[in-house]
Chains A and B, each alone.
Chain A
Amino acid sequence: MTAKIAYDDVEVGTELPAQTFPVTRAALVQYAGASGDFNPIHWNEKFAKGVGLPDVIAHGMFTMAEVIRVVTDWTGDPGAVAEYGVRFTKPVVVPNDDQGATVEVSAKVAAKLDDNTVRVDLVAMSAGQKVLGMSRAVVRLA
């Protein structure tokens, strides 16, 4: 594992570069195929509304995959991620238009741990609401 960020170069409070990720209907269909999760709430508006959702929503695991990129793009080596956990608190609602939704992710170093690892706390927002809670990763730095 060879992360490009050195443990000695970060402090509690160090911010990782923030990123905004798109979520389109087409991306959800592609993710359904790649992941094998064909739950119709992620592609069928009629079904989603029928079970009380405002519209089609993103797979929680799709959002989880996008959010960790703020960490893996920072370290360079995705294999440096030692732990990653989230709570799905609000759905990412994806309208059927040209834009879809976006997920804005910010992150900072929350603690320096043993063995050159740090805990990174992540915040993910969509349509002005936090969509994940307790979103944390432990990552091994150089």
Chain B
Amino acid sequence: MALDQSFVGRTYPPTDPYEVGREKIREFAEAVGDANPAYTDPEAAKALGHPDVIAPPTFVFSITFKAAGQVVQDPQLGLDYTRVVHGDQKFVYVRPVRAGDRLTVTSTIEAVKSMAGNDILDIRGEVHDEAGEHVVTAWTKLVARAAEEN
């Protein structure tokens, strides 16, 4: 079923703050096998000009994707999440995410398309810190594959 075009441009309320912890960054860096000391050693991060350990570039996806859940699970939109695959992902950074950040995400539906029976949804997540400064924007394209004919 084609998604409702009127959802284009809809913005959802900002999420509650997510507090970025040093040990969560360490856990993530270990999980992706990345031993860069900027992720685990505050002194190494400071030597690079960062006030505390920074997160790997893709770390913030866990936060923005959770926020996108508001969109994906919006019953009025009617996306069949069991058929969703991740199409594209892009990040544009103002600065790296770092330990101590309290981040909120504001999700906006940028595009709703239907192609060959597939529903395509583009979601933009704007990430801000506690001071209201912009940290990073994440664009996520989700594709709900057409249901098979019975």
Residues of A within 8 A of B (CB): 1-2, 21-22, 27, 30-31, 33-37, 60-62, 64-66, 68-69, 72-73, 76-79, 81-88, 134
Contact = CB atoms under 8 A, between A and B. Distances in A.
Contacts of A86: 88-90
Interface centre among B32, B85, B91 (most CB of A within 10 A): B32
Contact of A66 (B33, B38, B87, B89): B33
B92 A61 contact: no
A79 B88 contact: no
Contacts of B61: 35, 61
Nearest to B28: A34
20 contacts: A30-B31, A33-B27, A34-B31, A62-B32, A68-B56, A72-B34, A72-B56, A72-B57, A78-B36, A79-B48, A79-B95, A79-B96, A81-B96, A83-B90, A83-B91, A83-B92, A86-B88, A86-B89, A88-B88, A88-B89
A142 B36 CA distance: 18
A86 B141 CA distance: 10
Nearest to A134: B88
A35 B28 contact: yes
Given A1-B49, A2-B48, A65 B90 contact: no
B120 interface: no
Majority secondary structure of chain B interface residues (helix, strand, loop or mixed): mixed
Contact of B32 (A31, A81, A85): A31
Interface in B91-122: 91-93, 95-96
Contacts of B56: 65, 68, 72, 78
B36 A60 contact: no
A72 B65 CA distance: 23
Given A60-B89, A84-B57, 10 more contacts: A33-B27, A35-B62, A64-B58, A65-B32, A72-B34, A81-B93, A84-B90, A86-B89, A88-B85, A88-B86
Nearest to B31: A34
Contacts of B47: 2
B126 to A, nearest CB: 15
Given A61-B89, A72-B57, A134-B88, A78 B30 contact: no
Given A1-B48, A79-B50, A79-B96, A61 B87 contact: no
A78 B31 contact: no
